[in-house]
Structure 1
Amino acid sequence: MAEKIRKLTNSEIEVLARTIGECMTGSQMDSIFLECGVMDTSNESTKWKRIFYTFRDRQEIDGASNAFLNFIKKSLNPVRFVSGSSDNYDKILAEVNKPLLLMGLELTKEGKLIKTVAATTISEVERRTCNLINELQKRHIHTDVIKCCKEEYLKENYFHAVLEAAKSLAEKVREKTGLQDDGSSLFNTVFSVNNPRLAISSLQTSTDKNLQNGLKEMLNGITHMVRNVTAHELKIKWVVNEQDAIDILTTISFLHKQLDECVVVPQHII
């Protein structure tokens, strides 16, 4: 993160130092200090205190907390945890993100530190680090779905989250085919069995044709039940709670994965 991030309070440094200190040995900490180009100036032996005093003093010199945030990022580099439990990594990441979210920052599972919508309450922090994010990660939601709805999700705007995710299906089909249609008109044309623009299978057997038709009908179903409803109905009349949104996003994620497997059928110009 190139821009300077404000200095952290002693309480913020301490809670992060305690969490990070628990996920490494003393020798590993030495290695990460070296990798960051930071000298341990704490004169302490306790791991969290080494981190606390070193970066408390360092940010006074820098006028920013970037050095500490870089240390956190390198400490939670996913490659350091490949031989261990992914559940343990998720737990540590969630604990680190609790104070970071209050600052408007988040460390992703890919090891990137990003700016995000700042949490304002403890209950919001708990929800964002536990219930929602863990559930989406467990379900391996397609990245195209996450890109479309993450900001809305973090604001509890489930209504618009599912709308944006549903719209992303037609957008992907347009990108793959070059067509400019939308909704059912687009899907019916593209996934025609007799003259397809995209194919999920070879279309040689009845099973192949059923798969093609099934994908078309599922895409149409999401269009009618989710996209068209959210686009034309008042938000107060179509309530989407968190569990509904997760279920809908899981279905849309499945469809994105199917679209990724589709091949473009060459069109013969007569």
Structure 2
Amino acid sequence: MPPRTLHPSWPPAVIEGVADVLASTGWPGLTNGEINKLLAMLDIADLEAPNKRTRLWAALHNQQLRDRASNCVIRFITEAMALGRHLQDQPRFDALRDGLAAPLSLVGLRVNEQGKVARAAGTATTLNEVAELAGRLRAELRRRGVHTQVVRYCEEELLRQSLFHAVFEATKGVSDRLRQMTGLTADGADLVDQCFGSRSGIPLVQINAYSTDSQASEHRGFANLLKGTFGMFRNPPAHTPRATAGWALTEPDALDLFSLLSLIHRRLDNAQITPRP
């Protein structure tokens, strides 16, 4: 039986980047149960850690030190990306594959359509090269720490590098999240008024304690921010064909909008819902 090929060890930061993607909080990251199963299957020692990402990084990094090779990391990625694990959820496969593109580009690798670790077109040595090899939009959103809810609503459009539709879907996602949080069925400015209006006393959705004039002012400002965002970035694309020159958005503007939507989702993460009678 021919000896197993040993692949060069990866820098710890690359393994950390891989762990940040595969063990990301929420969708599309692996669950603790999935990580347990894969580590046991590959005979990689598990370690206690404060969170999934640190746990996976430590396990893979320590195994690489023992093996003096990156084979364990490659095997873990290959098993995590095995097509059979994603038959019922291709968007998750695509999101994980796209997320892994950035850290893997630093060692000249990628995950191909078969879920295998393969050679990339080149090896990135700068952040600009990472963006070129991994996909500018997703790499830049990741660098900015954009909220997962933003990416969730425009995943397909980002994969296609379609700014026009990505902006439209990501902005619509805020309305969808508000409806899921409250059970309301309204849309646009009406939805914002029903969620954050105070005519009936305490607002249905509160982004703060709403107990001082300053907090009430912040609350109203947030509602106005939502209305302005919908009016500027959701309504024009809804009524304007992409080919029409009357509504255009540059890539820097789109990236700034994604950051704004990320701020909105972070405030909604901690919002309180006041039950109605």
Shared topology, TM-score over 0.5?
yes
Q: Are 1:263 and 2:263 matched, yes or no?
A: no
Aligned residue runs from structure 1 range 136-147, under 5 A? 136-147=141-152
Match of 1:36 in 2: 42
* Counterparts of 1:33 and 1:159, CA distance in 2: 41
Cα deviation code 1:196-223 (max 9, x no counterpart): 1111122221111111111111111111
> Post-superposition shift, 1:131?
3.7
Aligned residue runs from structure 1 range 187-206, under 5 A? 187-195=192-200, 196-206=203-213
* Counterparts of 2:155 and 2:129, CA distance in 1: 15
Match of 2:234 in 1: 227
Match of 2:105 in 1: 94
Q: Which amino acid aligns with 1:247?
A: D
Higher helix share: 1
Identity %: 28
Choose which of 8, 12, 17 in structure 2 pairs with 1:21: 8
Give the structure-1-normalised TM-score. 0.60
SS in 2 for 1:235: coil
Match of 1:249 in 2: 258
Match of 1:61 in 2: none
Report the CA distance shift for 1:248/1:168 in structure 2 as closer, same or farther (over 3 A). same
> Post-superposition shift, 1:120?
10
Q: Which amino acid aligns with 1:203?
A: Y
Report the CA distance shift for 1:141/1:91 in structure 2 as closer, same or farther (over 3 A). closer
* Counterparts of 1:22 and 1:218, CA distance in 2: 48
Question: Are the counterparts in 1 of residues 196 and 205 from structure 2 also a CA contact under 8 Å?
Answer: yes
Determine which structure has more spread, i.e. the larger CA radius of gyration. Answer: 1
Aligned residue runs from structure 1 range 130-169, under 5 A? 131-169=136-174
Q: Are 1:240 and 2:246 matched, yes or no?
A: no
Choose which of 182, 194, 217 in structure 2 pairs with 1:210: 217
SS in 1 for 2:275: coil
Report the CA distance shift for 1:135/1:244 in structure 2 as closer, same or farther (over 3 A). same
SS in 1 for 2:153: helix
Cα deviation code 1:110-159 (max 9, x no counterpart): xxx9xxxxx99999985252643332122211111111122211211010
> Post-superposition shift, 1:267?
1.7
* Counterparts of 1:182 and 1:120, CA distance in 2: 45
* Counterparts of 1:22 and 1:189, CA distance in 2: 56
> Post-superposition shift, 1:73?
5.0
Choose which of 171, 174, 179 in structure 1 pairs with 2:184: 179
* Counterparts of 2:187 and 2:242, CA distance in 1: 23
Question: Are the counterparts in 2 of residues 199 and 262 from structure 1 also a CA contact under 8 Å?
Answer: yes
> Post-superposition shift, 1:91?
6.6
* Counterparts of 1:253 and 1:121, CA distance in 2: 32
Root-mean-square deviation (CA), in Å?
A: 4.1
Question: Are the counterparts in 2 of residues 193 and 213 from structure 1 also a CA contact under 8 Å?
Answer: no
* Counterparts of 1:257 and 1:234, CA distance in 2: 31
Cα deviation code 1:246-265 (max 9, x no counterpart): 11111111101111111011
Aligned residue runs from structure 1 range 119-134, under 5 A? 127=132, 129=134, 131-134=136-139
* Counterparts of 1:239 and 1:106, CA distance in 2: 36
> Post-superposition shift, 1:22?
3.1
Question: Are the counterparts in 2 of residues 98 and 125 from structure 1 also a CA contact under 8 Å?
Answer: no
Give the number of equivalent residue pairs: 197
SS in 2 for 1:163: helix
Q: Which amino acid aligns with 1:219?
A: L
* Counterparts of 1:98 and 1:244, CA distance in 2: 31
